[in-house]
Structure 1
Amino acid sequence: MIRHVIFDLDGTLVDSCGVCVSILSDMIADRGIDHAIDPVGARPYMSRGGQDMVSALLGPACADPATDLIDFRARYAAYVTPADSLYPGVAEAISQLHAMGLELAICSNKPQQLCEKVLADTGMAPYFRVVVGGRPGVAPKPAPDLLDQVAQQLGCASHEAIFVGDSELDHDVAQAAGMPFFFLTYGYAQPNWTPRAGESFDCFPSLATALAARVARAHA
C-alpha cells in the first residue's frame, strides 16, 4: 500500500525557469554585458545542477561559476516566487492528496533554504511533512542519498512510497533507491525522453487522479 508520495520540486510542482531567467538576466544587466537568455532554451538546464545552469545561461557574463552561483542563490533567497509559478492544478491536487491522508514530502537538489522559501512563497509549505533539499556533505541526485533521507524521516520503506519527478535525474534516483517512479512530461527532461519504468502523466491533475485511485483500491 502506498502511503507516502515524494515530489521533486522544480519542474514537477513549480516552474522555476522564469524565476531563474529573471535573476540571471539581472546579473547580466548589472555586469553591463550584451547577452539575452532564451527562456525556452534555458529549460533543460534547470535539472543540470546549479553551477552548470548558471555558467551556461550567463554565457559571456559568467566570471567564475562557483562565485556566480553564490551570487545567484543570494538573489534567489531575496526573490519572492509567485504563486502562479505552480503548474496548473498543483495547488488544488496537493490539497486533495493531503486531505486523503497521504503523507507528502519533497526531495530536491535545490538548497534546503530555497526549497523551504519557495514552498512558503507559493503557499504549499503546510502540506509537506518532510522537505529535504541539497546540503553540504550529502551527494545530490541521481545518488540516492537525499531520497534515502526523506524515506528515513518519513519512516517508510521504498515500496511504501512513490517518487514523482520530471527528468532523467529523478528517474535515475528512484531506480537507485528501489522506489516506484511517476513521470510528469511537462518538466525539464530532454525532449522526447521517456522513462524505462513507471507511469507517465501529461498534467498534474491526471497524476493526482491515479494516486487517488490507488488509495481507493487499497481501502476497498
Structure 2
Amino acid sequence: MDSIIFDLDGTLWDSRGTVAKAWTQVVKDSDSVRREVTEKDLKGTMGLQIHEIADVLFDDLSKEERMKLIRACCRQELPDLERDGGELYEGLEETLSKLAETYRLFIVSNCQEGYIESFYAYHGLGHYFEDFENPGRTGLSKGENIRLIIERNGLQSPVYVGDTEGDRTAAEFAGIPFVFASYGFGQPRRYDARIGSVGELVGLRF
C-alpha cells in the first residue's frame, strides 16, 4: 500500500447539518411543495451523484424542475460550507498527519465542483492531500475518477476508503481494495477491510 484515496461524506466529515440548512433555504424560496430538507433526507442520498439526489429528493417535480432546484441548492451550499464547515470525524487531523508521513493521500467524491475545496477552505486540511477529483469537474463516475487519480499520480498500490455500496463498486471498478468506514452512512455488501473509526487507518496494512 503506497497511497490512500478517500471518499469525503461519511468518511472524512459529516456536512449534513450545514447542507440541510442551505438546501432548505433554497427550497423555501422556490415554488416547490417541499418546505424542508432534513439531515435524514440527505443520509439516504449519500454516495449518489447530483442528478440522482434530485431524483430522490424532488421526485414530485418534473426532471427540468428538479434539476433547476438541485443546482440552486448546490450553489447555496458552497458559501455556507466555507463559512460554517461540517463535522469532522473524531481524530481526523491527527490521523491524516500520521498517515501523510507514510502514504500519499487523495480524495475522490461524488460531489459538485467546489465542494471538496469548501472542505479544504473551512477546515484547513488541504495540505494533507496531493490531488482530488469529482464528477462535477470531470463528468465521470466515481470508479473512473479513482482510475484517473491513480493514473495521473502514478500510484502503484492504492486503497479506497469509503462508507457505501457505491464506494465499494467504484473501488472494484478501479481494481483496488476497498476499506469500509463503518462509522459512516452505508452498509456495503462486502469489503476488503473494515475500520470503526478513522484513527484505525494508522494501523492498516495491505
- TM value normalised by structure 2: 0.86
C-alpha separation between the residues in 2 aligned to 1:39 and 1:117? 19
Choose the corresponding residue for 2:182, options 182, 185, 197: 185
After superposition, residues 197-216 of structure 1 pair within 5 angstroms as 197-206=191-200, 208-211=201-204, 214=205
> What is the one-letter code of the residue matched to 2:161?
V
1:48 aligns with 2:42: no
In structure 2, the partner of 1:7 is: 6
Structure 2, unmatched stretches of 5+, are: none
In 2 relative to 1, CA 76–169 (structure 1 residues): closer, same or farther, beyond 3 Å?
Answer: same
> What is the one-letter code of the residue matched to 2:203?
A
In structure 2, the partner of 1:36 is: 36
Deviation of 1:74 (Å): 1.2
Choose the corresponding residue for 1:96, options 95, 98, 103: 98
After superposition, residues 85-124 of structure 1 pair within 5 angstroms as 85-98=87-100, 100-124=101-125
Structure 1, unmatched stretches of 5+, are: 216-220
C-alpha separation between the residues in 2 aligned to 1:126 and 1:136? 20
C-alpha separation between the residues in 1 aligned to 2:47 and 2:138? 20
C-alpha separation between the residues in 2 aligned to 1:90 and 1:109? 20
In structure 2, the partner of 1:57 is: 57
Q: Is contact 1:35–1:60 with CA below 8 Å preserved after alignment?
A: no
C-alpha RMSD of the superposition: 2.4
1:152 aligns with 2:151: yes
| Deviations 1:76-119 (CA, angstroms, capped at 9, x unpaired) | 22223445521112121112211x23110011121232212222
In 2 relative to 1, CA 7–111 (structure 1 residues): closer, same or farther, beyond 3 Å?
Answer: same
| Deviations 1:37-84 (CA, angstroms, capped at 9, x unpaired) | 342343121222223324533576887121112211211222234455
C-alpha separation between the residues in 1 aligned to 2:29 and 2:132? 33
The answer to which of 160-169 and 52-61 deviates more is 52-61
> What is the one-letter code of the residue matched to 1:101?
T
Report SS of the residue matched to 1:110.
coil
| Deviations 1:20-48 (CA, angstroms, capped at 9, x unpaired) | 21111111222375633342343121222
**Identical aligned residues as a percent:** 23
> What is the one-letter code of the residue matched to 1:85?
E
- TM value normalised by structure 1: 0.81
